[in-house]
């Protein structure tokens, strides 16, 4: 009966690392017969419209309610509605506060459509009050690893970094399932000094305990020790792992693309040997300085390793200024020798990672990229930059599925100006992972074992598959008072 059909509203934060998992989760719910509404804005919806169209073609009931983004009120150029589009720290702040200004409009829409449940991004802490007011469940969606929460929790609890004499001195994080060391320079700013973000984190944790439950873009078998540890130390009563969301979502209908892309790089990959090519990409938010880009280019060429490199340059870099960030004659040499493929902007990352020619992935350790690589069985060269990425690097090290370039400075900025990671460090990491040494073969084998676990988790009877069914059944029971 239509009257007994579960209706769930999804509220994504407008940045790819949060929006993609939220939309994929919405797609999974719709594939299970749930009526789904996503609250978005015009230009953000364009980024995932293909996914919505595919769901509709399959007869799934999923709709998008677009709100007007307050660009003019915040002094933001028309069309910039996503954090990844910000080109300066000032603009980043304006876009973030513009998103926060949508709270009243979002609340009005949710109350008007009267869903049975709210699935909310972690940063929309106000949704817990709205859910309590409407007497419906609020699910908090975490697009993050368990280990990141565990490390952050213990750093806040024990504060081992505060006894260090310098930022470069290593310290042990106490009371964890594994021996994990970090440097103060690798920590988020709010752990070192009181910042406005300190209060945001406190608010997220408070809303966590008032939520109906938590959903993680993860699968239990990936980091079981840290899933159990987090539930214990944070007192989490109810949570569901339903990931990898991108892979699970693809099983109910292809949703690889977030933008139109040129697949010519895939044709180039078809000409390469198995595990021969290194894929280099640092996510949707990272733009390096010209000096750092030059160091990466030098390392790629000197390593003599075939590569695909996705480059996001500063906005004022024009095509005719490439010599300012590429070594002299670089493009001509790699083209002549058929050694590399440079992609400006976006790339079909899932297709690239799942191509048999890909043997490694140099990454910023964003959670989406980490999960995509592990599900494809591709080992990593880790180069964390900001957010929880240094924590994710520690998971890669615990699982022994990658090597590090040695980055040790947390640096959140639309353009990463420094400290410089030199070409020598980068080249050493490339050779260490991409060689045919016993160590690299063991790393690759462990990555492939992890991929098998990820794929099993979303198959019928797998942990993530069953968790999704259990969650929907519990929400139906809550909404209708019967076991559905």
CA separation for the pair 411, 416 (Å, rounded):
7
- The catalytic position among 18, 116, 153, 364 is 18
CA separation for the pair 213, 235 (Å, rounded):
12
CA atoms within 13 A on the CB side of 422: 2
8 Å CB contact between 56 and 153:
no
Query: Which runs of consecutive H residues, i.e. helices, occur in 354-462?
Result: 367-376, 389-399, 423-434, 438-458
From residue 26, how far is each of 62, 68, 103 by CA, in Å?
8, 21, 20
From residue 257, how far is each of 371, 375, 450 by CA, in Å?
16, 17, 24
CA separation for the pair 130, 388 (Å, rounded):
28
CA separation for the pair 274, 268 (Å, rounded):
13
CA separation for the pair 157, 150 (Å, rounded):
10
Distance from the Cα of residue 126 to its chain's centroid: 23
- Reduced to 3 states, what is the DSSP secondary structure of residue 151? helix
149 is catalytic: no
Structure tokens at 392: 């994710």
CA separation for the pair 68, 336 (Å, rounded):
49
CA separation for the pair 304, 311 (Å, rounded):
19
CA separation for the pair 215, 138 (Å, rounded):
11
Q: What is the DSSP string of 260-304?
A: ---THHHHHHTTSPTT-EEEE---SS--B-HHHHHHHHHHHHHHT
Give the other-Cβ count within 10 Å of 425's Cβ: 17
Query: Nearest-CA neighbor of 348 among 416, 397, 279?
Result: 279
Give the other-Cβ count within 10 Å of 271's Cβ: 9
Q: Compute the 3-state secondary structure of the chain and give helix, strand, coil in percent, each to the nearest 5.
A: 50, 15, 35
Structure tokens at 107: 């609340």
- The catalytic position among 116, 121, 149, 408 is 121
409 is catalytic: no
Q: Which residues are tagged catalytic?
A: 18, 121
């Amino acid at each position: 009966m239509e009257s007994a059909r579960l209706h769930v509203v999804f509220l994504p934060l407008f940045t790819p690392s949060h929006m993609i998992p939220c939309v994929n989760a919405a797609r999974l719910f719709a594939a299970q017969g749930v009526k789904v509404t996503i609250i978005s804005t015009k230009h953000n919806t364009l980024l995932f419209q293909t996914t919505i169209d595919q769901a509709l073609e399959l007869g799934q009931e999923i709709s998008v309610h677009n709100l007007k983004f307050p660009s003019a009120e915040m002094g933001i150029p028309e069309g910039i509605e996503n954090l990844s589009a910000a080109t300066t720290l000032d603009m980043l702040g304006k876009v973030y506060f513009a998103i926060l200004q949508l709270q009243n409009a979002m609340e009005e829409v949710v109350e008007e459509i009267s869903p049975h449940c709210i699935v909310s991004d972690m940063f929309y802490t106000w949704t817990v009050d709205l859910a309590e007011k409407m007497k419906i469940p609020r699910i908090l969606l975490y697009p993050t690893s368990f280990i990141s929460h565990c490390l952050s929790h213990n750093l806040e609890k024990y504060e081992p970094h505060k006894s260090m004499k310098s930022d470069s001195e290593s310290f042990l994080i106490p009371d964890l399932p594994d021996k994990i060391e970090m440097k103060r320079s690798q920590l988020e700013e709010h752990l070192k000094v009181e910042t406005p973000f300190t209060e945001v984190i406190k608010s997220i944790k408070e809303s966590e305990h008032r939520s109906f439950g938590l959903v993680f873009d993860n699968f239990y078998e990936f980091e079981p020790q840290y899933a159990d540890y987090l539930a214990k130390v944070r007192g989490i009563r109810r949570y569901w792992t339903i990931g990898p969301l991108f892979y699970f979502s693809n099983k109910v209908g292809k949703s690889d693309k977030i933008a139109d892309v040129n697949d010519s790089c895939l044709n180039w990959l078809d000409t390469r040997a198995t595990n021969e090519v290194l894929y280099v990409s640092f996510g949707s938010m990272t733009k390096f300085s010209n000096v750092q880009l030059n160091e990466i280019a030098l390392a790629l060429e000197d390593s003599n390793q075939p590569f695909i490199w996705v480059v996001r340059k500063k906005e004022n870099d024009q095509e005719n200024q490439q010599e300012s960030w590429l070594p002299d004659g670089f493009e001509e040499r790699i083209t002549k020798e058929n050694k590399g493929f440079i992609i400006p902007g976006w790339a079909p990352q899932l297709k690239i990672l799942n191509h048999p020619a890909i043997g490694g992935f140099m990454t910023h350790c964003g959670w989406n990229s980490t999960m995509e690589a592990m599900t494809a069985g591709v080992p990593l060269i880790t180069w964390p930059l900001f957010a929880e990425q240094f924590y994710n690097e520690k998971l890669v090290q615990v699982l022994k599925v990658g090597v590090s370039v040695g980055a040790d400075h947390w640096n959140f900025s639309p353009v990463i100006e420094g400290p410089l990671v030199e070409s020598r460090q980068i080249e050493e990491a490339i050779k260490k992972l991409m060689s045919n040494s016993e160590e690299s073969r063991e790393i690759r084998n462990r990555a492939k074992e992890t991929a098998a676990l990820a794929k099993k988790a979303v198959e019928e009877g797998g942990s993530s598959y069953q968790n999704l069914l259990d969650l929907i059944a519990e929400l139906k029971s809550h909404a209708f008072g019967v076991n559905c």
